[in-house]
Amino acid sequence: MIKFNHVTKSFDGVRSVLNDVNFFVERGEFVFLIGHTGAGKTTLFKHIYMEEFPTQGQVIVAGYNSNTIRKKEIPYLRRKIGIVFQDFKLLKDRNVFENVALTLQVADNRKKNIKKRVFHLLSEMGLSHQRNEFPQTLSGGEQQRVSIARALAADPYILLADEPTGNLDLAVAFDILELLKQVNAGGTTILMATHNPELIKNAHSRILEIKQGTIIR
Partner 1 sequence: MDLIYVFQESLRGFKYSRWMSLASVIIIAINLLIIGGFLYVSINTNQIIRKIKEKVEIEVFVKDDSSQLKVAALQDTLLNISGVRDVQYFTKAMAWEEFKQIHGEEMLEAVEENPFPASFRLKLESASQNELEVQRIVTIIEHQDGIEEIKYGKQLLPLLDRFSRIYYTAFGVVSILISLIAVFIVSNTIKLTVFARQEIIRLMKLSGARDLYIRLPFILEGMIQGLLGATCAVMVLWVVIEKLKGSIAGFFIFPPQIMVVLFIFGFILGGCGSWVSLQKFLKL
Per-residue string for binding with partner 1, 79-108, x by CB under 8 A? x---x-----x-x-x--------xx-xxxx
Site for partner 1 in 137-156 (CB under 8 A): 154
Q: Which residue, 12 or 108, has its beta carbon nearer to partner 1?
A: 108
Applying CB under 8 A, which of residues 38, 63, 75, 126 lies at the interface with partner 1?
A: 75
User: Whose CA is closest to 8, among 71, 60, 52, 57?
Assistant: 57
Eight-state DSSP code of residue 133: S
Q: Which residue, 14 or 108, has its beta carbon nearer to partner 1?
A: 108
Q: What is the nearest approach in angstroms of partner 1 to the Cβ of residue 93?
A: 6
Q: How far apart are CA 49 and CA 213, in angstroms?
A: 18
Taking every pair of Cα atoms in the chain, the longest distance, rounded to a whole number of angstroms, is 53
Q: Which residue, 101 or 199, has its beta carbon nearer to partner 1?
A: 101
Q: What is the nearest approach in angstroms of partner 1 to the Cβ of residue 74?
A: 8
Q: How far apart are CA 213 and CA 38, in angstroms?
A: 9
Per-residue string for binding with partner 1, 167-186, x by CB under 8 A? --------------------
Helices (H), the chain: 41-48, 74-78, 96-106, 111-124, 140-152, 170-185, 197-201
Order of strands across the sheet that contains 81-84: 81-84, 158-162, 189-194, 30-34, 206-211, 214-215
Q: What is the nearest approach in angstroms of partner 1 to the Cβ of residue 212?
A: 25
Rg (CA), the chain: 17
Site for partner 1 in 30-59 (CB under 8 A): 49, 51
Q: Which residue, 19 or 103, has its beta carbon nearer to partner 1?
A: 103
| From 7-15, 22-30, 77-85, 190-198, span contacting partner 1 (CB under 8 A) | 77-85
Cα 118 to its chain centre, rounded Å, is: 19
Residue 22, phi-psi category: left (phi > 0), alpha (psi -120 to 50), beta (remainder):
beta
Applying CB under 8 A, which of residues 39, 61, 69, 77 lies at the interface with partner 1?
A: 77
Binding residues vs partner 1 (CB under 8 A): 49, 51, 72, 75-79, 83, 89, 91, 93, 102-103, 105-108, 111, 154
